[in-house]
Copies of this chain bind each other. A is one copy, B any other.
Amino acid sequence: MSSRAPTLEDVAREAGVSRATVSRVVNGVRNVDPAIQDLVRRAVARTGYAPNRAARSLVTRRTETVALVVSGAGDLSDEAQDAFASRVFSDPFFGRVVAGVTGYLRPRSMYPVLMFAETPEARRDVVAYLRQGRADGALVVSTHAEDALPPLLAEAELPAVLFARPARPLPLSCVDLAHRDGGHLAAERLLARGCRRSVTIAGPLAVAASQERLAGFRRTMARRGHPSVPVAEGAFTLDSGRTAMAALLDEHPDLDGVFAANDLMAQGACEVLRERDRRIPQDVAVVGLDDSSAAVTCRPPLTTVRQPVEQMAAAMARLLDEHIRGDRTEPASEIFAPELVVRDSA
């Protein structure tokens, strides 16, 4: 940063043309004589010109930046909030979200701004951030149902796309998994393996996705002659999976199949099953859901229901992009189909 950074004006002088011509060359080039284009490009290279984005944003009212918000319903202390960030990222799920989002954004020279919204104050900050035009829109991943952020965004009429349908209908686009079908696939797999005493570790029942996965699983089980399936509620964490599995084993020592509503809980379940000398899958078959890195890491590798998180996240980014550019005015929802991935655990 020795002297002043070169401006359009400088390049124009260097090339012997007007500022507007340089601007046209640098951007989408409408009608510029090829010879002059070349002249300008050389001048840009010579001066090392980099367009000032603030100036551009001021007139275009675009920043080419989107917020990636990880949001919860909670009202945590500052301390708990810092822990929140690392907890969030310890779940392989978010890595996949980030991968999917950046996969779409990067080719467009857009980058996500990472924000956490675990307190009312933080949620206000997110809205303020967008209203100040520091980002063009928000991609919201909620860790809880009843997340207070989406309604705020809808009310402020800010462009936003949600991962997972909100508890209450909202005029915002979203992507989601066909959770019922996921539960169905898991049930089919356990039944196909001949499991007769299956149990399930559900996700937090306050979350719609958990409810749906459970409902899908139960319905298929019921239709196939197993009207009641023991359920333990978990929290989508490894530890909660362990606890739930232990409880289920205590009550139903003869269980022979487990569907855990995500891979992390399935992994916890596997650990407990092994500690209690159940062979997987010979004695107990285990099916997870997600197909995250945990599924591969797990011993044995998990048979699981794949949630195409990367594609879903990319679709989220695309939807937002369309809203921002005005190519899409009505909210849309894209629902993705789950898919069974067979490994060793079932």
Contact = CB atoms under 8 A, between A and B. Distances in A.
A154 interface: no
Contact of A52 (B5, B52, B133): B133
A65 B1 CA distance: 18
A51 B92 contact: no
A256 to B, nearest CB: 24
Given A85-B98, A299-B271, A134 B65 contact: yes
A57 B113 CA distance: 17
Contacts of A84: 99
A38 B86 CA distance: 41
A54 B65 contact: no
A114 B112 contact: yes
B112 A83 contact: no
A112 B113 contact: yes
Nearest to A292: B90
A80 to B, nearest CB: 11
Contacts of A68: 114
A1 B90 contact: no
Category for how many chain A residues contact B: 35 or more
Given A82-B103, A86-B96, A113-B113, 5 more contacts: A5-B131, A50-B131, A106-B116, A111-B114, A112-B113
Q: Report the 3 A-B pairs with minimum CB-CB distance, sorted nearest first.
A: A89-B95, A54-B57, A85-B99
Interface of A: 1-2, 5, 50-55, 57-58, 61, 63, 65, 67-68, 82-90, 92, 94-96, 98-100, 102-103, 106, 109, 111-116, 122, 125, 128-129, 131-134, 157-158, 238, 271, 293, 297, 299, 310
Question: Could you say which of A50, A82, A90 has the most chain B C-beta atoms within 10 Å of its C-beta?
Answer: A90
A132 B53 contact: yes
B102 A116 contact: yes
Contact of A238 (B86, B98, B297): B297
B86 A95 contact: yes
Contacts of A52: 58, 132-133
Contact of A1 (B53, B95, B157): B157
B98 A53 contact: no
Contacts of A122: 106
A321 B289 CA distance: 42
A103 B76 CA distance: 14
A125 B88 CA distance: 27
A56 to B, nearest CB: 8
A158 B111 CA distance: 19
A83 to B, nearest CB: 7
A300 B111 CA distance: 40
Contacts of A1: 157-158
A169 B129 CA distance: 38
28 contacts: A1-B157, A52-B133, A53-B132, A54-B54, A54-B55, A54-B57, A54-B61, A54-B133, A55-B58, A65-B134, A68-B114, A82-B100, A83-B99, A85-B99, A86-B96, A86-B310, A87-B95, A88-B95, A89-B92, A89-B94, A89-B98, A102-B116, A106-B125, A111-B114, A111-B115, A111-B129, A112-B114, A113-B113
Contacts of A134: 53, 65
Contacts of A100: 82
A306 to B, nearest CB: 14
